[in-house]
């Protein structure tokens, strides 16, 4: 492989994005120069990055590349506080066969059919957010008006979390996912959320409601396999994975839709094509590029390079989704390319559990905003938007819009 020799200091990773529309400029060069490159993490530790589509897919299927976050060699982007290390991150931090069992127990909650049953309620939530935005000042910040409230309210509905607590968990999640706040601040945020969810699950054990957590309690008790702590961990994962991701895709997708007349016309002219637009936007932005992280439990060979047991790997979905061998002119937003094989939701056993929900939320938000506010447009040039290079999930801190 080509890449740094032992004497070079591998480049600092993650590479920042310099524009909302572009993935890190380094990806193309590295992908062309070889399949595997060594990088230096902010913690000072080395790790491997995979940049080509086929290698990323294979890596995410490889049972020797583990999601075990309790492994001291697991490659972290930030130094962890002690209580972070104690968390397994539920499904996201498990390997088979434990992962297979735990995922099987909850996957029925996220089927396409179950998510479709939520569609009318999601539409109501989106309409209420649009009403509130139209009744407020113009310009408005789309991040505050839509990107965060919509997925947050939906996940509250699903889990049976009180809407009144939304500000609290949004704030704690964003602190926890920050790559710049001090470890103690992130630790406190983690601890606050864990305590909150512990109390919530305890309350539902006593007085069940019609929600995912209550159903998991009933199912666990029926199977004599109920585990309070495991359910708190799952609630934690769903709450945090379920809103920051979709929220950032709402902001970036809306930016592209507002600034690309053909794309906007596709949706307004034929709402039936929205799912296709959503798919291409997911591929194009791949906001969760740097979260598909693994540690090798045994030596693994990728593209002629041996990754040794104990070494960390970032399987870069964004770089894979812009691999010209798979996606022609990857830097173009081309709705007709049929981007369904993209890796924005990961691949293999850990592929995103909430993808049907995320797709539905994005479809409804894009459709509703463009239909109800035809003159909606950014209030500042794209190059002035504050980018979330300080977080594990890419997005925009603010998106001022006017109409």
Q: Does 358 bind ligand HEM (CB under 6 A)?
A: yes
Q: How far apart are CA 207 and CA 275, in angstroms?
A: 38
Separation of CA 51 from chain center: 19
Residue 365 in the binding site for ligand HEM (CB under 6 A): no
200 near ligand HEM (CB under 6 A): no
Q: Which stretch binds ligand HEM (CB under 6 A): 24-32, 70-78, 123-131, 351-359?
A: 351-359
**Cα(339)–Cα(278) distance, integer angstroms:** 10
| Residue whose CB is nearest to ligand HEM in the complex, by number | 354
Among 235, 249, 307, 360, binds ligand HEM (CB under 6 A): 249
Q: Does 149 bind ligand HEM (CB under 6 A)?
A: no
Residue of 40, 46, 49, 43 whose CA lies nearest to 12:
40
The contact mask relative to ligand HEM for 259-298 (x = CB under 6 A, - = no) is ----------------------------xx--xx------
Give the residue with the Cβ less far from ligand HEM, 52 or 103.
Answer: 103
Identify which of 177, 152, 151, 146 has the alpha carbon closest to the alpha carbon of residue 164: 152
CA 20, CA 253: separation in Å to the nearest integer?
Answer: 10
Q: Which of 24, 160, 242, 378 binds ligand HEM (CB under 6 A)?
A: 242
Out of 237, 295, 335, 385, the residue judged to bind ligand HEM by CB under 6 A: 237
Single out the residue of 335, 354, 336, 334 nearest to residue 344, CA to CA.
354
Instruction: Supply 191's token pair.
Output: 């601890």
C-alpha to C-alpha distance for 286 and 331, rounded to whole angstroms: 12
Q: Which stretch binds ligand HEM (CB under 6 A): 27-35, 178-186, 236-244, 259-267?
A: 236-244
User: Can you tell me which of 24, 35, 346, 378 binds ligand HEM, judged by CB under 6 A?
Assistant: 346
- The torsion of the CA quartet 279, 52, 248, 194, rounded to 10 degrees, works out to 120
Query: Tokens 């995410």, residue?
Result: 60
**Interaction between residue 241 and ligand HEM (CB under 6 A):** yes
For position 357 contacting ligand HEM by CB under 6 A, the verdict is yes
Instruction: For residue 344, state whether it binds ligand HEM (rule: CB under 6 A).
Output: yes
CA dihedral 104, 109, 110, 116 (to 10 degrees): 150
Total residues in contact with ligand HEM, by rule CB under 6 A? 26
- Residue 59's nearest CA partner among 392, 346, 340 is 346
Residues at the interface with ligand HEM (CB under 6 A): 67, 91-92, 103, 155, 237-238, 241-242, 245-246, 249, 287-288, 291-292, 317, 344-346, 350, 352-354, 357-358
């Amino acid at each position: 492989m080509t890449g740094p020799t032992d004497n070079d200091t591998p480049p600092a990773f993650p590479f920042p994005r310099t524009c909302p529309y572009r993935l890190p400029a380094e990806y193309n060069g590295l992908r062309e120069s070889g399949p595997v490159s060594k990088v230096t993490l902010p913690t000072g530790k080395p790790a491997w990055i995979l940049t080509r589509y086929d290698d990323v897919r294979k890596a995410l299927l490889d049972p020797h590349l583990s999601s075990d976050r309790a492994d001291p060699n697991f490659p972290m982007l930030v130094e962890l506080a002690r209580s972070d290390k104690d968390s397994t991150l539920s499904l996201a931090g498990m390997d088979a066969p434990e992962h297979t069992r735990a995922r099987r127990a909850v996957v029925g909650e996220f089927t396409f059919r179950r998510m479709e049953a939520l569609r009318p309620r999601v539409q109501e939530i989106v309409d209420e957010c649009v009403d509130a935005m139209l009744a407020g000042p113009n310009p408005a910040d789309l991040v505050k008006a839509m990107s965060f409230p919509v997925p947050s309210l939906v996940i509250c509905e699903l889990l049976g979390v009180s809407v009144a607590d939304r500000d609290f968990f949004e704030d704690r999640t964003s602190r926890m996912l920050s790559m710049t706040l001090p470890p103690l601040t992130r630790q406190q945020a983690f601890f606050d959320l864990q305590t909150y969810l512990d109390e919530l699950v305890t309350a539902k054990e006593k007085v069940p409601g019609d929600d995912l957590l209550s159903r998991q309690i009933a199912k666990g008790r029926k199977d004599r396999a109920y585990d309070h702590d495991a359910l708190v961990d799952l609630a934690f994962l769903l709450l945090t994975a379920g809103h920051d991701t979709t929220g950032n895709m709402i902001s970036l997708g809306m930016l592209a839709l507002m600034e690309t007349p053909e794309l906007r016309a596709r949706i307004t002219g034929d709402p039936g094509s929205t799912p296709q637009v959503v798919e291409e936007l997911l591929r194009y932005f791949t906001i969760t590029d740097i979260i598909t992280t693994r540690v090798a439990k045994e030596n693994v060979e990728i593209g002629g390079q041996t990754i040794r047991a104990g070494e960390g790997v970032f399987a870069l979905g964004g770089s894979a989704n812009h691999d010209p061998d798979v996606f022609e002119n990857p830097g173009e937003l081309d709705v007709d390319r049929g981007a369904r094989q993209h890796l924005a939701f990961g691949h293999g056993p850990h592929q995103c559990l909430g993808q049907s929900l995320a797709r539905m939320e994005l479809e409804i938000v894009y459709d509703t905003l463009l239909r109800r506010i035809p003159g909606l447009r950014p209030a500042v040039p794209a190059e002035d938007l504050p980018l979330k290079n300080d977080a594990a999930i890419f997005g925009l801190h603010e998106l001022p819009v006017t109409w």
